[in-house]
Chains A and B, each alone.
Chain A
Amino acid sequence: KQEVTQIPAALSVPEGENLVLNCSFTDSAIYNLQWFRQDPGKGLTSLLLIQSSQREQTSGRLNASLDKSSGRSTLYIAASQPGDSATYLCAVRRNYGGSQGNLIFGKGTKLSVKP
């Protein structure tokens, strides 16, 4: 059974700091991995999607890496800003049939960037 774990559960950093959020998964047979951002009381916004054949994806100040063999992904945020404060979730998509490639989510890391 696939399990996704995100550490730490919460993180508080001063503005301008570079930071890394971690995501680990127990079954390396994944199709892809996605990172999402969720603002309080809101839906999820997709940030980056990494296919299983890829090692990393970049978008602006965000860089996500994937090491499928070790079951790990990291989300790197450069020069953090107060507007980055949100909960960040990672999710892996299974690569076998059944429930349309169900996404398995971690519980998220709640990030607070202090001005």
Chain B
Amino acid sequence: SQTIHQWPATLVQPVGSPLSLECTVEGTSNPNLYWYRQAAGRGLQLLFYSVGIGQISSEVPQNLSASRPQDRQFILSSKKLLLSDSGFYLCAWTLSGTGSFSGNTIYFGEGSWLTVV
């Protein structure tokens, strides 16, 4: 069966410090991978998605970046955190689909709470 792991679960970082959140998927190959942010009262927002190694698409301009160094590894990073980067970050995956998108069920990790102080 497939599983998704995300860490760290919680993180408190000072403004201006770097960030690295890691996500790995097991039990599947060539998944589509996603990073979402859930801010209080704002719902989930897609930050990045990836359809393959080294292929990253950004949905919104921001202070964050993403990388996919291996097929089932997705990393969310920042060189200098801002207060506004605080939130709940969720990694997710779907089976890769045909055409331009996948209509499959999306599976989420347990999330990472980031507090920037």
Most chain B CB within 10 A, of A43, A91, A94, is at A43
A49 and B43 contact, CB distance less than 8 A: no
Q: Contact mask A34-69 → B, CB, 8 Å, 1/0?
A: 101000011111100101000000000000000000
Chain A residues touching B, range: 20 to 34
Asked if A103 is at the interface (CB within 8 A of a chain B CB), the reply is: yes
Contacts A105-B44, A108-B43 given; indicate if A43 touches B111 (C-beta within 8 A): yes
Chain B residues touching A, range: 20 to 34
Contacts A42-B110, A99-B49 given; indicate if A107 touches B103 (C-beta within 8 A): no
Once A and B bind, how many residue pairs between them come within 8 Å at the CB atom? 68
Asked if A115 is at the interface (CB within 8 A of a chain B CB), the reply is: no
Asked if A75 is at the interface (CB within 8 A of a chain B CB), the reply is: no
A94 CA to B49 CA in the complex, in Å?
Answer: 15
Asked if B81 is at the interface (CB within 8 A of a chain A CB), the reply is: no
Contacts of B100 in A (CB 8 A): 97-98, 100-101
A44 and B103 contact, CB distance less than 8 A: no
A102 CA to B101 CA in the complex, in Å?
Answer: 8
B51 and A100 contact, CB distance less than 8 A: yes
Contacts of B42 in A (CB 8 A): 107
Q: How far is the CB of A75 from chain B (nearest CB, A)?
A: 16
Contacts of B92 in A (CB 8 A): 44
A101 and B43 contact, CB distance less than 8 A: no
A97 and B106 contact, CB distance less than 8 A: no
A101 CA to B32 CA in the complex, in Å?
Answer: 11
Contacts A42-B111, A43-B109, A44-B90 given; indicate if A97 touches B101 (C-beta within 8 A): yes
Report 17 cross-chain contacts, Cβ distance below 8 Å, ordered by A residue. Answer: A31-B101, A34-B105, A34-B106, A41-B113, A43-B110, A43-B111, A44-B92, A46-B105, A49-B105, A51-B103, A97-B99, A100-B49, A101-B101, A101-B102, A102-B49, A103-B44, A107-B42
Binding site for A on B (CB under 8 A): 6, 32, 41-44, 46, 49, 51, 57, 59, 88, 90, 92, 97, 99-103, 105-111, 113
